[in-house]
Amino acid sequence: MSTVTQPAPVVSVDPATGEVLREFECTAEAEVRAAVERARAAQPAWHELGISKRLQVLRRFQTLLHEQKSDVARVITRESGKPYVEALLTEVVVALDAAQFLIASAHSLLRDQRIGHANLVMKAKRGWVVREPYGVIGIISPWNYPFNIPATEGLVALAAGNAVVIKPSEFTTLSVLELQSLLRSAGLPEALFQVVPGAGATGAALVDSKIDKLIFTGSVASGKRVAQAAAARLLPVVLELGGKDPMVVLDDSDLEVASSAAVWGAFVNAGQTCLSVERCYVHQNLYERFLAAVVEKTGKLRVGNGLDPQTEVGPLIHQRQLQIVEAQVEDARAGGARVLAGGARLPQLGANFYGPTVIADVHHGMRLMREETFGPVLPVMAFGSEDEAVHLANDSEFGLAASVWTSDRKRGEAMAARLQAGTVMVNDVVSCYGISEAPHGGVKSSGLGRTHGRFGLEEMVRVKYMDSDLLPRMRKVWWYGYGPEFSRQMEGFVDFLFSRHWGARIGGGLRALKAYFRRGWL
């Protein structure tokens, strides 16, 4: 007799202490389908409620999140390991600001838009674009920012009139449940935002269910599998697949500011940030001084439990991620790179701690400069010219974000225009994600589509063109009734519309006018 094996539960664990916070049964395929059907049944009424009333729910959510900011941040810290202040600023504040953006802007961005007609013949029509919700948006969210990513994506979907079914990372289910609880307390009907805990099989079931669009954040390998599954039924997707973001420090940069930025940009959230500084290129005139500065500042960082207010760098999420970081560092060391700080586990703090690491004399033959690290490692490489720096920065399969550092803003902007990335910042790193008005997304293997801002909102709607003729009792000149004479008349019609000579235009218009009086018009 065959037996059905129940998948192991997913477990939320404090990565700093190893404490099991909670276990969750994996949502089975049938339960995922049922959740999507509940969402589909509830979505039309939510859309018909209108944008103003939908935004009232988001406003109440924003108020509740602000009131409970500390409690929510502590949940995020316990589940993801990041310092409490980072949970507050990079998760809670980002979600609050995303809600504020929608409250202030969604109504104007979603309203019907008149479309003008330049073609003279089409002047007798009135056209406009209507934005309609897809229906049910599926979201598969990651563990590194377990609250702000599902919040920023989910709030936009809801504002546009969709329902949401979300599969969180199996490592950070509690954070998404906090989001769900706040939305329900704000008055959102339960079926409009549902969480389906689980691992890979649950995510696959969501992709295969009758959702209308999928927003996925994760690795390139997983994103490709998701895209292949979605393509089988033409399911539209937005894919945010990580990066290998370069930081370019030009010879006129402020050394103190740039070195501080590199340290924070590389080690924030223990480097587990898709926008983190994963490759640092420094002009050869500054190289050794820059290295000395970042090594000194890295040595001052306090590593520990994120709930300790003194902590600046927390643990990695789990052993598998630590092993990836460790393997890349050892590969670089074996290839001749100099490890100037860190480069080892910190077992005295716990199983998942790795020392913030600075590595010099790296090159693109090393895994550390090619593969996404997602850990507290800052590799630094020298360059001689701007052209070389651009070549090195663009020499990657990824293209999520980049930064340029210089005292000459115009110079920085000129280089930024040459870099292949979805976002390029001049004299700042990472914070672009916290700008709710700015689109977030990448090129090359970093993904497809955009979240955040106007372009993120556009991803949550179908665009319908509406057209109404103002002369409904007039037959159109291009309708049936063809023949040799009609062909000559239509040649005149083309001349009337597009000839660069007024004489030809006038003559063509007179010929075309005869078409209105032709015989055999159906």
- What is the residue type of 335? G
Active-site residue, from 26, 274, 280, 432: 274
Concatenate the DSSP letters of all residues of 12-35 into one string.
EE-TTT--EEEEEPPPPHHHHHHH
256 catalytic? Reply is no
- Residues across the chain: 522
Are residues 511 and 485 in contact, defined by beta-carbon separation less than 8 angstroms?
A: no
240 in active site: yes
Secondary structure E strands in 178-270: 193-195, 213-217, 237-240, 246-249
End-to-end CA distance of the chain: 72
User: Are the beta carbons of 146 and 76 closer than 8 angstroms?
Assistant: yes
Beta strands 125-133 and 113-115: pairing type? Answer: antiparallel
- Buried-state track 62-82, b at ≥16 Cβ within 10 A, e below 16: bebbeebbeebbebbbbbbbb
Q: Find the catalytic residue in 79, 86, 240, 372.
A: 240
Question: Which residues contact residue 72 at a Cβ distance below 8 angstroms, ignoring those fewer than 6 apart?
Answer: 65, 87, 91, 92, 147, 178, 182
Query: In one letter, which amino acid is 233?
Result: R
**25-50: string of b/e by CB count within 10 Å (b at 16+)?**
ebbbbeebeebbebbbebbeebbeee
* Contact status, residue 302 vs residue 312, Cβ threshold 8 Å: yes
Q: What angle do CA 367, 371, 374 make, to 5 degrees?
A: 115
Asked if 455 contacts 116 with a C-beta cutoff of 8 angstroms, the reply is no
Residue 185: Cβ within 10 Å count:
13
Positions marked catalytic: 240, 274
